Each structure stands twice: as structure tokens, then as C-alpha cells.
Amino acid sequence: MDTTVLRSAYDRLLDAAAIPDLGDADDGGWNADQILAHLLSVDASIAAVALGVVAGSRPTFDNRISLDTWNLDRIITEHSGRADLIDHVRSQATVLCDIADQLNEEAASVLVPSLLLSNDALVLDQPITLTSLIDGLAEDHVPVHTQQLLDLRVAVPGHA
């Protein structure tokens, strides 16, 4: 697999996460730490799926644990602050991309039974290729969360 687009997406996300004074979501959604914890959970799960495929098992992907607020709080608590979360997302994204870079065509084409929810709505409940699961991070997941982070910028009075 070629992870150039995914690596670039993570670079943009990490730049957004490093913006000082990110506030809370206007709609009551996740704050920056929760977004980063969610990414850590998703990335670890997809890396585990990819390694499982390489090992010969046929794992499934279910993102519900990465949406669970208790789990997100647990992940946040395990880190010493935003900078530590950002560093962990950076290193874990590198691990995920390094695994994906080494997938051969046969492994990348394995169908992975997948269950994806977003905002309590079912997005996907069917097998997709491992390639599609990983490419979905670059094409949708990481850019959406990058925009979420950018939307958390606190407006400075007197600046447009």
C-alpha cells in the first residue's frame, strides 16, 4: 500500500492539534483531547486488524470502543497532557502507516467485516477490504477530525 496521502493527512491533523488554546465544541461535541484519544483507539484497532490479517486470522473492525466516553477518558488519563497525546498519535500513526506500507496485495485485499458508527448513526455494517479500511482514514476519518480540531480554535476578540 502507498500511505503517502495518509501520512500527509496525519501531518495536517497534528498541526491542527498543536494549535494553542483549542476550546470546546459549540455543539457539545468532543474536545481536542477526546478527538486525539479517539484517533489513538481507532489507529490501534486498525493496526491490530492489519497485523491479524498478516498473521492469517480474519479479524473484524468495530469502532464502538473508540466512541465510548469511558474509554476515551481512560486514554486521556494515561497521558500527561495534550502534547503527550499528540506525540502518541504521531508515533501510532507512523506504526500504522509502516504496517500498511508492508502489506502485500493479497493481505490488502482481504475482506474485513466492519461495523462503523458516527454520531450514533450506522455508517457501515459490511465487509470491506483492508485497503478500504486504511484508505478510509486518509480520505475521510483523519480529515474530518482535522476539521473538528480547527473548529475548536478560540476566536480572539478583534481578530477576523
Question: Does residue 156 fall inside a structural domain?
Answer: no
In a domain, 127, yes or no: yes
Model confidence over 21-63: pLDDT tens digits?
898 888 889 999 999 999 999 999 999 999 999 999 999 999 9
The reply to whether 158 falls in a domain is: no
160 domain residue, yes or no: no
Within a domain: residue 157? no
Number of domains, the chain: 1
Smallest Cα–Cα separation from 47: which of 10, 14, 9, 94?
94
- Residue 158 binned pLDDT confidence (cut-offs 50, 70, 90): very low
What CATH number did the domain enclosing 46 receive?
1.20.120.450
Asked if residue 136 is part of any domain, the answer here is yes
Domain-located, residue 32: yes
pTM value is 0.94
State how far the Cα of 154 lies from the Cα of 17, in Å rounded to an integer.
13
Reported as a single tens digit per residue, the pLDDT across 60-81 is 999 999 999 999 999 999 999 9
154 band by pLDDT with thresholds 50, 70 and 90 = confident
Residue 116 sits in which domain range?
A: 4-151
pLDDT range class, residue 129, cuts 50, 70, 90: very high
Hey, which residues does 129 pair with through a beta bridge?
111
- Mean pLDDT over 9-18 rounds to 98
Residue 159 lies in a domain: no
User: Mind listing the pLDDT tens digit for each residue in 87-116?
Assistant: 999 999 999 999 999 999 999 999 999 999
